[in-house]
Chains A and B, each alone.
Chain A
Amino acid sequence: MKTMKLTMAAAVLAASGWATSVTAATAVGPICDTAARVGSTTYYSCSGSSHNALDMSNGTCSVWNHRGMINVSRYYAYYGGCANNCSGGTSCNGGAGNYYVVTGGSGWDFRQLHLNSNVSSGSKTCDRCALGLVGSTGNSTGAHVHADNRQYGTRKTAWYTGVGTTCGSSAYCSNRVGTPTL
């Protein structure tokens, strides 16, 4: 009954010019290598200081594609300009390195950070396509993909805790790692 009321309310809003309501997307791992694993979640290495995002790696640098994680077509805005790197430790783009942002409604976004650029890199609309290579640009201590889901710039954690993703979980490209809000 409650669901029906919510559905009807959404329909009324849609008919009144409500077109950009916020939805839950599905995010899969960014690396199509079965060895890819989650290394950090709410805390660095799951026991360090606060992190509130996922770090995922397969132990290689500039070899594997860093892929879009949202499993439908979305617009990925690219912010590049950082020299490719496999050890990190720079403040390029405020520490984010080369990165992508998917912008949702009501201040929500989903970001993928630290990639090394290649011919695939650039703003584009696609479904889990190659965005660059797994790298370590910006404030990073080794090649990995950092993914976060923020509202008005604050990182949220429910998108991955809600599906049980933790350190050691698979970050393979067909494995669901979270349900970010967009």
Chain B
Amino acid sequence: MSPLSMKQPGRAALLVALMSLAPLAARGEAALRPTQCTVQGMLDDVRLAMKRGSPALKRYVKMRLKEAALAMPAESLLAALNGERDPDVLEALGAALATKASNAEAPDLIQPLLARATGDSDPALRAAAVRGLRGVPSVEFMEKNGGVVTYEQLVRDASPEVRAAVAENLVSESADVYSGHDRRVSEAAVSVAAAAEDPAVAAKLLREVSMEAVGPEAVEQVTRLLRSEDPELRAAAATALGGVPGGGTAGARGSLVDLYRDDKDPAVRKAALQGIARLGQSHAMPVLESLRGVDRAMDAEIDAWLSVLKLNLQEWELVLREKQRLRR
């Protein structure tokens, strides 16, 4: 095909595109009419998008509802929330209401969402209500609403979907709202992990929520979880103990050394070594050296940590990345 003939279909396409830009009235079609935004109209868009939309459209309609909610009267949002039976739409409405509460510093606005999270008979709707609280200061909001509903209570829900939503909320709140620096959220996560009957949920919380600001009571709670029957939870508790602040490090180090010596599970031993390395960084080297020979199969892991700690990297994320480059 010559370059000239290649241009012909392109020109035709351009013409069609230009015609589509011509005023609608000039083409004898009905003109678009402006309509007023309503909560119901926006919810219909969310409902449709969640059923048939692309991931990008789903994100867009939820974001649009959230932004519009800042200027909407709370009553219309609350009325819609109380009657909603579609989990996806309930989650979007909940997120919009929670964002409005955060913007207006009005924690009482989330009370109906908390009521749905605890009282709805459908577990999918309870989970959706919990997810609606993600990304806002939900732990603080629950306290300011009198502590009538707490994550400790929600994590005992019979539905695994609700329990997973609780863990996701706390992980997200610690990382995204506070960059891991908030004591209240970290301690709430520890209490929830201790109260959880689902070891996978408890393990996720301990593994992924920052422990950098927790107090001595929370350190004790985490230490007690080193004796859990579930190896995943013991390993997560060891990981968490590696991240506790200065005051608790001596006791935590001793507990992790004991765990390494006594626990036969390789994943738990691996997590104990990571905890020891994180607590001491370059000062952990003599402790790690002393653990050589306890389990010959783990000596390569100890060697990897010693190689990394010799580099004197200044941030834990860099240390961890380098360790994972050497040995997963």
Contacts and interface: CB of A to CB of B under 8 A. Distances in A.
A128 B210 contact: no
B102 A19 contact: no
Contacts of B105: 124, 126, 129
Contact of A17 (B70, B181, B239, B328): B239
Contact of A127 (B136, B180, B208, B328): B136
Interface string B215-259: 000000000000000000000000110110000000000000000
A75 B242 contact: no
Contacts of A105: 179-180
Interface SS of chain B: helix
Contacts of A72: 135, 176-177
A19 B171 contact: yes
Interface size class of A (residues with CB under 8 A): 20 to 34
Interface of B: 67, 70, 99, 102-105, 135-137, 140, 171, 174-182, 207-210, 212, 239-240, 242-243, 274, 278, 315, 317, 320-321, 324, 328
B174 A73 contact: no
A103 B178 CA distance: 8
Contact of B324 (A16, A104, A106, A174): A16
B179 A17 contact: no
Interface stretch (A7-15, A33-41, A49-57, A85-93): A7-15
B177 A74 contact: yes
A10 to B, nearest CB: 11
A75 B140 CA distance: 11
B176 A128 contact: no
A29 B184 CA distance: 30
B178 to A, nearest CB: 5
B177 A75 contact: yes
A174 B240 CA distance: 39
A68 to B, nearest CB: 9
Contact of A20 (B179, B242, B324, B328): B179
B324 A126 contact: no
B317 A75 contact: no
Interface in A104-142: 104-106, 124-129
A19 B174 contact: yes
A134 to B, nearest CB: 18
Given A75-B181, A127-B136, A18 B317 contact: yes
B180 A17 contact: no
A106 B207 contact: no
A75 B178 contact: yes
Given A18-B317, A75-B177, 8 more contacts: A13-B324, A17-B274, A17-B320, A72-B177, A75-B137, A103-B181, A105-B180, A127-B136
A61 interface: no
Which 7 residue pairs spanning A and B have beta carbons closest together? A20-B180, A125-B137, A127-B102, A17-B239, A73-B102, A19-B210, A104-B179
A14 B204 CA distance: 10
A19 B180 contact: yes
A3 to B, nearest CB: 15
Contacts of A167: none
Given A73-B102, A124-B105, A16 B180 contact: no
Given A18-B320, A20-B210, A21-B317, A127 B99 contact: yes
A179 to B, nearest CB: 15
Contacts of A73: 99, 102, 135-137, 177
A127 B207 CA distance: 27
Interface SS of chain A: loop
A182 interface: yes
Contact of B140 (A21, A23, A103, A125): A125
B102 A15 contact: no
Contacts of A14: 208
A174 B64 CA distance: 13
Contacts of A17: 207-208, 239-240, 242-243, 274, 278, 320
Contact of B320 (A13, A104, A124, A127): A13
Contact of A129 (B102, B180, B239, B242): B102
B253 to A, nearest CB: 16
21 contacts: A12-B328, A13-B320, A14-B208, A16-B324, A17-B208, A17-B240, A18-B317, A19-B208, A20-B210, A21-B175, A73-B177, A75-B182, A104-B179, A124-B105, A125-B102, A126-B102, A126-B103, A128-B103, A129-B102, A129-B103, A174-B67
Contacts of B179: 20, 103-105, 182
